């Protein structure tokens, strides 16, 4: 699983708890592969920042970063990509009905959270100059978003305005002022 790094300290605790209390702990992932903190932790102040580093460095995206961490999505976005990421600001998350974010951050809602985050990510670099009014983009969660363009300004799903464009080493970030919600699941 991708969470190995995150759970490493947890595993440690488990191990010692297990030894002290002499109980059989739940089976955990074998962390033998992860001797380092991962490529996203490699110290590099010279290279252009990737999507994750940009988000982490932004004070307006702490909710997004927390959500990505909770959904085990940080590693994915640190990979080669390329990605187009629509990045809602903290204000955008705050616009959601009260309790929504807190609800999604619960462990049993991880799949829902991930589905929403994956609805903000497309594989490929979609640049504004190539966007067309009415264009659909199939996002990582397999649902489409629809772009509208008015006076050179891009809006997603008729609700989220692109308020900034940030090129990243592994893609492009569009800062949006609303969270994109995937269409209800059709059965």
Partner 1 sequence: MKSLFKTFLLVALTASTFTWLQSCKPKGAQSAVSGDAASKVYVAPGKYDEFYNFVSGGFSGQMSVYGIPSGRLFRVIPVFSVDPEKGYGYSEETKAMLNTSHGFVPWDDLHHIALSETDGIQDGRWVFGNGNNTPRIARIDLKTFRTAEIIEIPNSAGNHSSPFITENSEYVVAGTRFSIPMDNSNGDVPINTYKQNFHGTVSFIGVDKTSGNMNIAFQILLPGVNFDLARAGKGKSHGWMFFSCYNSERANTLLEVNSTQKDKDFILCVNWKKAEEYAKAGKGKLQSVKYAHNIYDEQKQMASSAIENQVMMLDPKDCPDMVYFMPCPKSPHGCDTDPTGEYIVGSGKLAAVIPVFSFTKIQAAIAAKNYEGDYEGIPVLKYDAVLHGEVKKPGLGPLHTEFDDNGFAYTSFFVSSEVVKWNVKSLEVVDRVPTYYSVGHLSVPGGPTRKPWGKYLIAYNKITKDRYLPTGPELAQSAQLYDISGDKMKLILDFPTIGEPHYAEAIPASLIMKNSQKIYKIEENKNPYAALGDKFARVERKGNEIHVYMTAIRSHFTPDNIEGVKMGDMVYFHVTNLEQDWDVPHGFAVKGANNAELLIMPGETQTLAWKPEKPGVYPIYCTDFCSALHQEMQGYIRVSAAGSNVPISFSTGKTAPAVTTTTDKK
**CB neighbour list of residue 22: distance below 8 Å, 6 or more residues apart:** none
For partner 1, give the closer residue by CB, 86 or 126: 126
For partner 1, give the closer residue by CB, 77 or 92: 77
Contact 24, 94 (CB under 8 A): no
Contact positions with partner 1 (CB under 8 A) in 22-81: 24-25, 27-28, 30-39, 41-42, 44, 75-76, 79-81
Q: How far is the CB of 24 from partner 1 (least distance, A)?
A: 8
Query: What gap in Å lies between CA 5 and CA 27, rounded to an integer?
Result: 16
109 is an interface residue for partner 1 by CB under 8 A? no
Cβ count within 10 A of residue 173: 25
11 is an interface residue for partner 1 by CB under 8 A? yes
Judged on CB neighbours under 10 Å (0-12, 13-18, 19+), 22 is exposed
- Per CB under 8 A, residues contacting partner 1 are 1-2, 4, 9, 11-12, 14-15, 18-19, 24-25, 27-28, 30-39, 41-42, 44, 75-76, 79-82, 123-127, 130, 138, 140-142
């Amino acid at each position: 699983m991708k969470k190995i790094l995150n759970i490493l300290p947890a595993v440690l605790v488990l191990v010692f708890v297990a030894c002290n209390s002499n109980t059989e702990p739940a089976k955990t992932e074998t962390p033998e592969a992860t001797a380092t903190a991962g490529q996203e932790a490699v110290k590099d102040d010279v290279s252009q920042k990737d999507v994750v580093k940009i988000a982490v460095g932004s004070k307006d995206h702490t909710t997004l970063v927390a959500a990505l961490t909770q959904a085990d999505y940080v590693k994915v976005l640190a990979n080669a990509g390329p990605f187009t990421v629509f990045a809602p600001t903290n204000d955008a998350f705050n616009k959601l009905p009260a309790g929504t974010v807190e609800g999604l951050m619960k462990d049993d809602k991880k799949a829902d959270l991930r589905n929403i985050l994956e609805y903000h990510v497309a594989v490929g670099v979609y640049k504004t100059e190539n966007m067309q009014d009415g264009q659909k983009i199939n996002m990582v969660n397999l649902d489409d978003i629809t772009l509208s363009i008015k006076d050179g300004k891009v809006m997603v799903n008729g609700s989220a305005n692109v308020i900034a464009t940030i090129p990243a080493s592994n893609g492009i970030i569009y800062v949006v002022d609303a969270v994109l919600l995937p269409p209800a699941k059709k059965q």
